[in-house]
Amino acid sequence: MKLSHIFAFVGGALAGVAVGMLLAPESGAETRQKIADVLHEKGITLDKERFKQFVDKVIAKLKNGFTDAELHDAVNETINEHGHE
């Protein structure tokens, strides 16, 4: 195998890893924190159990990856559908 082929393979592998890391869904903890931040911006506080239920409803609306705008839309939709107490 030529050295240029090895460099091409390694370069492609590194590019694939970088793209995968950028596009991978966030962890559950990161997602919950983002939802908590959006609720805080709206002045909404929930106890631990209601927050868990709310997060489950929002996450059900989101697929694998999501933008901040999609997260805000899902939170707003959940608030409108189920209200907050």
Segment 4-59, tens digit of pLDDT: 656 565 556 555 545 454 445 667 788 888 888 888 888 888 888 888 888 888 88
Residue 23: per-residue pLDDT: 47
Dump pLDDT digits (tens) for 59-84. Answer: 888 776 778 888 888 888 888 886 65
Encode burial over 51-73: b for 16+ CB neighbours within 10 A, e otherwise: beebbebbbeebeeebeeeebbe
Residue 56: per-residue pLDDT: 87
Residue 25: per-residue pLDDT: 62
Residue 36: per-residue pLDDT: 87
